[in-house]
A and B are shown apart, each in its own frame.
Chain A
Amino acid sequence: MILPEAGDLLTPAMAIDGFRLGCLIDATTGMVLASVQKQDTPAPPTAAAGAADIVSVLTLLNGKLATGEILEDVMITFSDSFFMVRPVGRDTEPRILLLVVADRHRTNLAMAHRSLRDLCASFPA
């Protein structure tokens, strides 16, 4: 973990039912800054790299569309898990991303979405 101190910021995300993995990722470089996980979790570097790739593609899409919109979040549904990615802070430029992976069978997606939105909004800009 590059910035272990940043792991404190992920603590509230662990309260999400079905939480499996949380990562803070540098959106530009794809570097994992900090991660917290429970036992049966996917490999944090691989999950984080995938999240950074997805946001990179969506940022390129947004750049080409040039509609003036900003990326708010990405919700991905697998057969057994949810992948939720959200830029941290209120900047228009996503410098840091929050990735949370949760067990689909134990997670209320709407509640998890709300928790992540509130968590990210609580971060100072």
Chain B
Amino acid sequence: MSQNSRRTRVRQLAESVWPGRTVNGYANLIAARLRKLADEGSTGMLPVSGHGDGAVFFRDGQVVYAESSRTSPPAPRARDLAALGLVPGEAPGSAGAGGTGAAGTVATRSVSRLGGMLELTELIIDALTELLSSESRYAKFRHAEVAPAGHGRPLAVETLLAEVQRRHEVLRQLAPVVTPDTTVSCESSLSLPSAQVSPAQWALLIRADGGTTPRGLAMHLGRSVFGTTIEVYRLLELGLLVVPGRPPAPADGRPGTGISFIRAVSGGRGSDA
């Protein structure tokens, strides 16, 4: 089933709208539903709708895949998963031919796959972060609905919810400066500061010339919306990107708008879980 037709189906399923909205929106309801599905050891698909459509796929009570129409889909890269040893049911460290079985060899193969594992997992968590927004709502769970090819390692629901909550807190911190949907563009003035950027940041800079959003950049590059928003924030800090209508970051100097991961884990408001 193609990506678009699957999303269309998810939307149809999600149109059996959930009743009753809590003070904090639907995110708490979705989190509670995910926990219940985990407790029951469910296998299948939970359609979610809201700003965008998406679904969370379960296998034996653990999340194996998630996608949202507002984040980059993990699926197009699924063809690389077999090479990475991430095909379903495979034991850790068992991929690839020619392994000696020695601990060092297994560790080396694991490391070489770490980037691939991280990339896939990041996109799944990115989709969940979007799906668990306050505007989302879920529809009836579809038992035994098969996850699309290329799903990753099973992830515990509680681990995912904690990570999503942390990300929402980071996004709250960034909101006064930039959100995933804030338009940004390159600073084109002659007083452009000299700066050193990473290859990943450079890829964003050269695509932000005419004005775009972190979400647009992420979708274009197949990257995480959350990660791209943070990188865009860092480019704003460097004065290489600007939000049209606002002064560049160095002249801005507003206190308390910086990103802090430690504040996100210790001082979050915790409305998601």
Q: Judge: A and B partners, yes or no.
A: yes
B262 touches A53 (CB 8 A): yes
Q: What CA separation (Å) do A30 and B224 show in the bound complex? A: 13
B194 on interface, CB distance cutoff 8 Å? yes
Q: What CA separation (Å) do A45 and B118 show in the bound complex? A: 17
B107 touches A3 (CB 8 A): no
A92-B198, A93-B198 known; A124-B93 Cβ under 8 A: no
Q: What CA separation (Å) do A56 and B167 show in the bound complex? A: 16
A124 touches B108 (CB 8 A): yes
Instruction: Kindly identify, within residues 32 to 55 of chain A, every residue whose CB is under 8 Å from any CB belonging to chain B.
Output: 33, 45-46, 48-50, 52-53
B112 touches A124 (CB 8 A): yes
CB distance from A101 to the nearest CB of B (A): 15
CB-CB < 8 A to A48: which residues of B?
261
Q: What CA separation (Å) do A3 and B159 show in the bound complex? A: 11
Interface readout for A41-75 with B: 1 if CB under 8 Å, 0 if not?
A: 00001101110110010011011111110000000
Interface residues on A, range: 35 or more
Q: What CA separation (Å) do A60 and B106 show in the bound complex? A: 35
**Contact partner of A66 among B194, B260, B266, CB < 8 A?**
B194
Q: What CA separation (Å) do A61 and B111 show in the bound complex? A: 29
Instruction: Kindly identify, within residues 142 to 195 of chain B, every residue whose CB is under 8 Å from any CB belonging to chain A.
Output: 153, 155, 159, 162-163, 166-167, 170, 193-195
Give the B interface residue count (CB, 8 A). Answer: 48
Instruction: Kindly identify, within residues 226 to 271 of chain B, every residue whose CB is under 8 Å from any CB belonging to chain A.
Output: 226-227, 230-231, 234, 237-238, 259-262, 264-266
**Contact partner of A52 among B167, B200, B261, CB < 8 A?**
B261
Give me the interface of A with B, judged by CB distance under 8 Å: 1-6, 8-9, 11-12, 24, 26, 28-31, 33, 45-46, 48-50, 52-53, 56, 59-60, 62-68, 92-93, 95-96, 122-124
Contacts A45-B265, A96-B118 given; 20 further ones with Cβ under 8 A?
Answer: A3-B114, A3-B121, A5-B153, A6-B117, A8-B93, A11-B107, A26-B227, A28-B227, A28-B230, A29-B227, A31-B166, A45-B162, A49-B261, A59-B198, A63-B197, A63-B238, A66-B194, A92-B198, A92-B199, A124-B111
Give the 5 A-B CB pairs with smallest separation, nearest first.
A30-B261, A49-B261, A93-B198, A49-B262, A66-B196
